[in-house]
């Protein structure tokens, strides 16, 4: 997007074809991931790939605890690694599960689908909102999604889809604020994705947690609507969003530390995995 006339231009344009304004490189293209994996990660996909690597590492850990890398994993292994369970959240006050649950997955198909969605959506949201806002959107959407899920659906629930729905919410918020024809097209396109996801979740026999989807969408929409895009933003406002992103990352790390601190002992874990329930 041109910072002067706000027209949509391509990432390769260095001069806006509409107003003639000189356009510099995007913020996400100024980062140099050359020190990470030999520069194999494209700059615009850097944040997405980091999230995917965390998800993959936890999925491998879940499969190892479950004793199988094929098919569905053990729900009790998911609980031990931080899955959302209403009783654990509201009775045992393990609120950190509202964050850790967003990085866990229950099957190869589950993580494959969510990985594809993250790989597609993260760069799009980051291009519009920048890295700081993307991080805050994803964090808030995950927490809001699993909080609503814990209230309305107290059973075991996991997955990156709450955060993914927050990314969809952010794009809908952009279209709601930007009243151009392209803005409306973006809004309608992502509302269509929202509708498809919710419809699949309401299908009979579906194992989709629509409450997490609804909460995630609402959280992502709210943050993005308030935040706006970095275009014509002040240095003070950008500093605030960088601090908010840093706080989100620190809270995420703290939640995983709490998961580690509350992880069952080997004896407790053996008994848990052989038992018939969790909590």
**Catalytically active residues, by annotation:** 161, 213
Rounded distance between C-alpha atoms, residue 269 and residue 266, angstroms: 5
Helix pair 108-152, 210-227: axis angle to 10 deg: 80
Rg (CA), the chain: 20
Question: What's the count of helices (H) and strands (E) in the chain, helices before strands?
Answer: 11, 0
Rounded distance between C-alpha atoms, residue 129 and residue 132, angstroms: 8
Q: What is the DSSP string of 101-138?
A: GGG--SSHHHHHHHHHHHHHHHHHHHHHHHHHHHHHHH
User: According to DSSP H, which parts of 31-157 are helical?
Assistant: 46-66, 75-80, 86-90, 97-100, 108-152
Give the phi and the psi of residue 14 in degrees, each rounded to 5: -110, -10
DSSP state of 159: -
Q: In the structure encoding, which two tokens stand for residue 161, read together?
A: 């889809």
Rounded distance between C-alpha atoms, residue 171 and residue 183, angstroms: 9
Q: Are 160 and 102 in contact (CB under 8 A)?
A: yes
């Amino acid at each position: 997007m041109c910072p002067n006339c706000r027209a949509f231009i391509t990432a390769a344009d260095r001069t806006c074809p509409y107003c003639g304004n000189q356009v510099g490189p995007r913020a996400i293209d100024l980062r140099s991931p050359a020190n990470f994996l030999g520069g194999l990660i494209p700059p615009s996909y850097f944040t997405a790939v980091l999230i995917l690597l965390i998800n993959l590492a936890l999925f491998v850990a879940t499969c190892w605890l479950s004793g199988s890398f094929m098919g569905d994993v053990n729900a009790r292994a998911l609980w031990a690694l931080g899955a959302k369970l209403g009783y654990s959240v509201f009775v045992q006050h393990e609120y950190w599960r509202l964050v850790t649950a967003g990085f866990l997955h229950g099957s190869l198909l589950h993580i494959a689908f969510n990985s594809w969605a993250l790989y597609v959506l993260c760069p799009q949201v980051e291009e519009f909102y920048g890295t700081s806002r993307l991080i805050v959107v994803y964090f808030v959407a995950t927490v809001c999604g699993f909080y609503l899920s814990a209230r309305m659906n107290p059973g075991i629930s996991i997955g990156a889809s709450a955060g993914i729905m927050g990314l969809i919410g952010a794009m809908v918020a952009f279209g709601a604020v930007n009243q151009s024809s392209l803005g409306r097209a973006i809004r309608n396109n992502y509302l269509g994705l929202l509708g498809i996801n919710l419809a699949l979740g309401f299908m009979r026999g579906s194992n989709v947690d629509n409450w997490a989807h609804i909460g995630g969408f609402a959280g992502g929409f709210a943050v993005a609507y308030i935040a706006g895009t970095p275009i014509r933003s002040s240095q003070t406002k950008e500093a605030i969003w960088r601090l908010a992103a840093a706080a989100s990352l620190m809270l995420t790390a703290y939640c995983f530390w709490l998961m580690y601190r509350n992880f069952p002992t080997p004896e407790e874990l053996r008994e848990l995995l052989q038992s018939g329930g969790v909590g």
